[in-house]
């Protein structure tokens, strides 16, 4: 058994090259992360390798359209196998779903980095978002069958509950907080009025952030670049670690690495860092 917990972090970097110019490298160097899930990479594999350095093994699934989306997994040890097949055959999910198996001691952990579409009500972007969420509903049970120690990380672009968005009343008709979107999360982890919510309800997955924080507002992981959203903590909780029940039972620590000030941020999202005592 390893002498330390497995530390897994996820962050939407909003362009990894820009994030590194603003200080992402210093954060990563001092954080002791074993597996890092990245979203909105918007760079080449060579760019990622050059920025992170030779100590990291990189898996990268770029988007079809250059300069958009892109997900990656970086680890201290090489993955056993990785997969990018996801959703209907005629659906372009490139740059949005990347899963890999990692060995931690004698334990196999399956990790997914995913970037759900942001959506836009009344447009094709929203149709694509629902297609992606439909594919997640079908794929999550397959992940559980593949490995009871599985983890879906990333910017899921939905605030599940009113606790997950500061100004929820004014956003109920906007992408990211639509009732139809939130219903998918009821299927993933259960509805809040279900006695088994986040503890076996729905498909049985666990929202690690909500279980750790409890019934409190936030804590948020994304703040608009406009106005004083960051300074007033007017945010959304869009970045998740969804774990199978068996893996969620091993959580030893959970943190959102919110920047100390607006001008010290290197992304509009904050990293979510969790320790799993396997």
- Contact yes or no for 242/8 (Cβ under 8 A): no
**What per-residue confidence (pLDDT) applies to 86?**
85
Domain segments of the chain as ranges: 7-276
- State the pLDDT at residue 163: 98
Burial of 199 (0-12, 13-18, 19+ CB in 10 A): middle
- Taking domain 7-276, whether its CATH number is 3.60.10.10 is answered by yes
Rounded CA separation 145/115 (Å)? 22
Instruction: State the pTM of this model.
Output: 0.97
Q: Report the b/e string of 83-107 with b at 16+ CB within 10 A.
A: ebebbeeeeebbbbbbbbbbebeeb
Give the pLDDT confidence score for residue 1 in this predicted structure: 60
- Could you tell me which residues are beta bridge partners of residue 107? 104
Q: What pLDDT digit, counting tens, does each position of 197-224 carry?
A: 999 999 999 999 999 999 999 999 999 9
Assess contact for 274 and 35: CB atoms under 8 A: no
Name the region of 176 (left: φ>0; alpha: ψ -120 to 50; beta: rest). Answer: left
Which residues of the chain fall below pLDDT 70? 1
Q: What is residue 54's predicted lDDT score, i.e. its pLDDT?
A: 95
**The pLDDT of residue 194:** 97
Q: What is the pLDDT of residue 85?
A: 82
pLDDT at residue 67, as a whole number: 75
């Amino acid at each position: 058994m390893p002498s330390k917990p497995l530390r897994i972090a996820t962050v939407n970097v909003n362009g990894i090259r820009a994030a590194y110019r603003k200080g992402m490298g210093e954060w990563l160097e001092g954080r002791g992360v074993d597996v890092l899930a990245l979203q909105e990479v918007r760079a080449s594999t060579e760019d990622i390798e050059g920025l992170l350095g030779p100590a990291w093994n990189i898996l990268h699934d770029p988007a079809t359209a250059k300069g958009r989306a892109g997900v990656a997994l970086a680890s201290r040890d090489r993955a056993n196998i990785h997969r990018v097949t996801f959703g209907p055959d005629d659906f372009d999910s490139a740059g949005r779903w990347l899963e890999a198996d990692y060995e931690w001691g004698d334990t196999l952990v399956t990790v997914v980095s995913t970037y759900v579409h942001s959506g836009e009500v009344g447009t094709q972007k929203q149709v694509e978002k629902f297609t992606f969420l439909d594919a997640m509903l079908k794929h999550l049970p397959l992940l559980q069958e593949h490995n009871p120690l599985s983890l879906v990380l990333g910017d899921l672009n939905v605030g599940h509950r009113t606790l997950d968005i500061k100004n929820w009343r004014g956003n109920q008709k906007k992408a990211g907080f639509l009732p139809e979107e939130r219903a998918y999360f009821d299927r993933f982890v259960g509805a809040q009025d279900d006695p088994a919510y986040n503890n076996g309800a729905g498909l049985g997955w666990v929202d690690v952030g909500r279980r750790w924080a409890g019934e409190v507002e936030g804590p948020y992981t994304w703040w608009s670049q406009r106005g004083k959203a960051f300074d007033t903590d007017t945010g959304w909780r869009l970045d998740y670690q969804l774990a199978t029940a068996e893996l969620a039972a091993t959580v030893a620590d959970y943190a959102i690495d919110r920047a100390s000030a607006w001008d010290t941020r290197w992304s509009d999202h904050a990293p979510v860092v969790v320790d799993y005592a396997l």
